[in-house]
Structure 1
Amino acid sequence: MANITDKLSPIDIEFIENQKIFFVTTAPKNGKINLSPKGLDDTFKIIDENKILWLNYFGSGNETAAHLLEDNRMTIMFCAFEGEPNILRLYCKAKAIHVRDALWEEYISYFEVKRAARQVFEVTIENVNNSCGMGVPLYDFIGQRDDLTNYYDRTTKEEHIAYMKKKNQISFDGKDTKLFED
């Protein structure tokens, strides 16, 4: 049976801090729903029981930013792949904070590794849903992939910006991400 609350509990926070992967879902008013698996250490910061900052590195698409311009709903999901079963869903409102925004310096300061940062998502939790998760299989964590971070380390900031200008300004549905403009 699901247990729905309006904020993270200390048990929820501990559960989140022990996870190696999470999933983010957003949707525009019309178009494809986007579901993305996320990993990498030091990209998800719990500020308080209702506020999260999520550092988003650049990659092949920028669907989340485009979707949030139309509909600011976001769902974040964590699953227990080891230990006691649990699925934790966070139903949220979110917005993208870019390097040009007043909050950028404050928010980026929460993260140790800043290279390749595309945006920080300011996420406000409206509901927390814990459910059983007994159908989620058990997996052994081997490690985070280093392909992406190695790529970031061997390329320059100028190359990162050039890539984002080429690949991250328009979503897969042709929606503007406002990555380099207001």
Structure 2
Amino acid sequence: MAKVFDRITDDLQKFIHAQQIFFVATAPLSPAGHINLSPKGLDSFRILSPNRVAYLDLTGSGNETSAHLAENQRITFMFCAFQGKPLILRLYGQGRVLTPDALDWHTQADLFPTIPGTRQIIIAEIDRVQTSCGTGVPLYEFEGQRSDMVEWAQKKGDRGMWDYWQLKNQISVDGLPTPLAGWMERSQQEIGGN
């Protein structure tokens, strides 16, 4: 049976800290738009308070979460127990994107390890916390985090990553602009103005 909370309780915070993977879901306002659901790993999730969380967003083949948050702020996180006692935890809230030129970028970035390929930070105010049984979730053993993404970003380097963002991360599959595109444009203007 589902239980609803108005905050992330201490027990739920411990559960989150024990997980090696979480999922992020967002959607555009248009009913014809594509819903996005992404798995996330590495050491990229932080609980800032019982009603605020953040995660370090690493470069991927798209940038749907960023585009959707810029349009409507809706976000849902899901954690599943793949080991031990079954549990599913969902965090519902309103999110925003922090780009590297944001005033509080360094304050937030300092909460995470330095990971090559970091492109933005997602911060969410959580207004609904819901648990459910999770008895239908299979058991898996954690072997470790993959290194492929980090190695790929290291190999690309700063210039290669910038070029990749320009090519793949400025608009969503539905044509919505991402905040990363705005940051890249502002950065180019600053370089051109100097």
TM-score, structure 2 normalization: 0.90
Is the CA contact 2:99–2:179 (under 8 Å) kept in the aligned structure 1?
Answer: no
Deviations 1:85-143 (A, max 9, x none): 00000001100000121121111111121432111011111111011111111111111
Is the CA contact 2:94–2:124 (under 8 Å) kept in the aligned structure 1?
Answer: yes
The 3-state SS of whatever aligns with 1:156 is helix
The 3-state SS of whatever aligns with 1:180 is helix
Q: 1:175: Cα distance to partner? A: 1.2
Could you tell me how far apart the structure 1 residues matched to 2:6 and 2:110 are? 27
After the TM superposition, which of the residue ranges 21-30 and 143-152 deviates more from structure 2?
Answer: 143-152
Could you tell me how far apart the structure 2 residues matched to 1:68 and 1:178 are? 9
Q: 1:154: Cα distance to partner? A: 2.2
Deviations 1:27-63 (A, max 9, x none): 01010110111111x2101111111111001110000
Percent identity over the alignment is 44
Match of 2:168 in 1: 167
The 3-state SS of whatever aligns with 2:179 is coil
Could you tell me how far apart the structure 2 residues matched to 1:84 and 1:114 are? 31
Give the count of matched residue pairs. 181
Gaps of 5+ in 2: 184-194
Letter in 1 for 2:41: G
Is the CA contact 1:108–1:114 (under 8 Å) kept in the aligned structure 2?
Answer: no
Q: 1:155: Cα distance to partner? A: 2.5
Gaps of 5+ in 1: none
Q: 1:180: Cα distance to partner? A: 3.2
Deviations 1:137-158 (A, max 9, x none): 1111111111111112222112
Q: Aligned match of 1:35 in 22, 34, 37? A: 37
After superposing on structure 2, the runs of 4+ consecutive aligned residues of structure 1 that deviate more than 3 Å are none
Is 1:24 matched with 2:24? yes
Q: CA RMSD in A?
A: 1.1
The 3-state SS of whatever aligns with 2:181 is coil
Is the CA contact 1:92–1:126 (under 8 Å) kept in the aligned structure 2?
Answer: yes
Match of 1:155 in 2: 156
TM-score, structure 1 normalization: 0.96
Match of 1:113 in 2: 114
Match of 2:192 in 1: none
Is the CA contact 2:97–2:179 (under 8 Å) kept in the aligned structure 1?
Answer: no
